Chains A and B, each alone.
Chain A
Amino acid sequence: MPLDTASISARFEDRVLTPVLTGAGPGGVRPRWWVSPLIVLVAGGLYGAAMGSWSIQTPERALLIPYAAIKVPMLILITTAICLPGYFVLSTVVGLRADFRAAFSSIAAGQAAVTLALGSLAPVTRFVYFSGIEHAGALVLSAGMFALATCVGYAVMLRRYRPLLQKNRRHRVMLAAWIAMYVFVGIQMGWMLRPFVGTPGMPVAFVRQEPVSNAYVAVGKILWQSLHEVRGAPATDAPRGRPYR
């Protein structure tokens, strides 16, 4: 039976792309609330699977594919769940409660757009892996893909948010607050859910079997050590300044 690509793509546009872009599904009906999370689960899972398939020479390493497929949607959905109460209360306090539904559906559409973009980049990622790339290169590639997809998601979110921004200037503050919260929590969530690509030589695990750590503290230490090396002084782990009481 031949594959009717025209029909499939038309249905994909009607049921997925158009609702995400415009907030209205077929016949102008508002899509159900679970459409965006479902897109995140499916498209995010697809990209996660591609991301985890960097090096699958052993059956054990092949486990990274389902692990990453689960973790990419987790990263987005749990981060949203953590930030949502704060966003809700802040929206209420600044007097934007009436627009909360519209604002949050714009944000959810942005997240769906990020994962759709990531999902569409999954074949590219797989192709680059197939062509041969080192671990560091795979990490940079993933970072680049996430950055690109985030730009697309931000554009979609802004497009959906625009009527609200025109309606009330306070929406700008709330949008900035959401982005700040989401990025702040998302970076740590991504750090917690490592590995996505899988470092060679390290045991395969859903999350790293090591004591929990903080992404910002880790980056701060690296920067501090680099600064010391540039200055020519020996790097030290010992904290400076007066001890905190």
Chain B
Amino acid sequence: MVINWLKQLDELLRGERVRGDLLLQGKIDLRLRVFVPLAIFLGCAYGFFMGFYALLGWRDQALMQLFATTVKLPALFLLTLAVTFPSLYVFNALVGCRMTFHATMRVLVGAIVVNLAVAASLGPILAFFSLSTTSYVFIVLLNVALLSVAGVISLSFLLRALRALARSRAHAEAASEAEQAMSRAQGLPEQGGQAPPPLPGYGDAPPTSPVFTRLSEREDPVLAAQRMRNAVAAAAARRADETVAKRESVANFILTIWVIIYMLVGTQMGWILRPFIGNPGTEFTWFRPREGSFFLAVWNAMHQFFGM
């Protein structure tokens, strides 16, 4: 089982499970019962390395801090997902990019797994510095830097996958509309007869238009109907392209907004769940009082580190 899971993780990292052609068909081969435990495991791995800093000083309850960090890191990512997922799903539904619930959830879990896999792979670097550095602010900034690298890679994966998903839905809907239009066009006479009724949306030309004039007065009705079908097909294709472009631009806007929300919630979630590293000057505690913000803390850490 473990080898199979690692194989699936490897395929995700290589991009084989979220290939463009699969996503365009709306298929996402990411099983939650595999990738959620993988996310927890990889989060624990990075958290374990992160907690090494507490071991250096052998403070009281250093092992407790290590355990707390190991548990809290996957919680940070999964809780952020839980908080932000409903907004992404509902936003998408409201603006018409109707990605399915499960598809969206799978892509988001995949992105978290990518994030944590990259972070865990950088874990040995963090562990080395944690065990060879006493400077608390340095370790804080190093963690911010490593998680930022992992986050940027993960977000690019997420945006690529979600855009492809949105495109697949837009394509599917546009194709469906085009098919309907074509089926209406099939109602045109094949062998003579009266002028066809106007086609709502596509062939709604008035009976006096040149098409119908030619059909009723001079042309063979079969040829006229063929011409009509071609005109409907061209209009349907044009409309499909416009639909896809419109949906994509809306999806991009929504995804950008959502990514900003995700980043803000994620950083604030990290702030609420602190301490992760454990300030050497303070006693171990599971959570600190809710005050200040992540960005203010990073700014202060940079001030302190660079002596500004």
Q: Spell out A's residues near B (CB within 8 Å).
A: 81-83, 85-86, 88-90, 92-93, 95, 97, 181, 184-185, 188-189, 191-192, 211-214, 216-217, 220, 224, 239-245
Contact = CB atoms under 8 A, between A and B. Distances in A.
Nearest to B140: A244
A244 B278 CA distance: 12
Ranked nearest first, the 10 interchain pairs of A and B with the lowest CB-CB distance are: A241-B303, A89-B121, A214-B133, A85-B121, A92-B13, A86-B122, A217-B135, A86-B121, A82-B124, A224-B307
B304 A241 contact: yes
A212 B131 contact: yes
B196 to A, nearest CB: 52
A245 B303 contact: no
B304 A188 contact: no
Interface string B114-141: 1001101111110011011111111010
B300 interface: yes
A242 B13 contact: no
Contact of B138 (A92, A97, A216, A243): A216
A211 to B, nearest CB: 7
B200 interface: no
Interface residues of B, number: 40
A243 B304 CA distance: 7
B297 interface: yes
A188 B134 CA distance: 13
A217 B136 CA distance: 10
Nearest to A98: B14
Contact of A220 (B288, B301, B306): B306
B117 A89 contact: yes
A193 B7 CA distance: 38
B264 interface: no
B305 interface: yes
Interface of B: 10, 13-15, 56, 114, 117-118, 120-125, 128-129, 131-138, 140, 153, 157, 279, 288, 291-292, 297, 300-301, 303-308
A217 B307 contact: no
Contacts of B124: 81-83, 85-86
23 contacts: A82-B128, A85-B122, A85-B124, A86-B121, A86-B122, A92-B10, A93-B118, A95-B15, A97-B13, A97-B14, A188-B129, A188-B133, A211-B134, A220-B305, A239-B304, A239-B307, A240-B304, A240-B307, A241-B303, A241-B304, A241-B307, A241-B308, A245-B300
Given A85-B122, A217-B135, 20 more contacts: A82-B128, A89-B13, A89-B117, A90-B118, A92-B10, A92-B13, A93-B157, A95-B14, A97-B14, A185-B128, A185-B129, A211-B134, A212-B133, A213-B132, A220-B306, A241-B303, A244-B136, A244-B140, A245-B288, A245-B297
B10 to A, nearest CB: 7
A206 to B, nearest CB: 15
A85 B123 contact: yes
Contacts of A97: 13-14
Given A212-B56, A213-B133, A220 B125 contact: no
Given A93-B13, A224-B307, A88 B121 contact: yes
A240 B308 contact: yes
A239 B305 CA distance: 8
Contact of A242 (B125, B288, B300, B305): B300
Contacts of B291: 245
Contacts of A188: 128-129, 132-133
A119 B19 CA distance: 48
B121 A185 contact: no
Contacts of A189: 128
B134 A213 contact: yes
Nearest to B282: A245
A216 B13 CA distance: 33
B121 A245 contact: no
A217 B133 contact: yes
Contacts of A239: 304, 307
A86 B308 CA distance: 32
A203 to B, nearest CB: 20
Nearest to B124: A82
B148 to A, nearest CB: 14
Contacts of B297: 244-245
Contacts of B133: 188, 212-214, 217
Contacts of B137: 244
B153 A241 contact: no
A62 B85 CA distance: 64
A239 B123 CA distance: 28
Nearest to B298: A244
Contacts of B301: 244
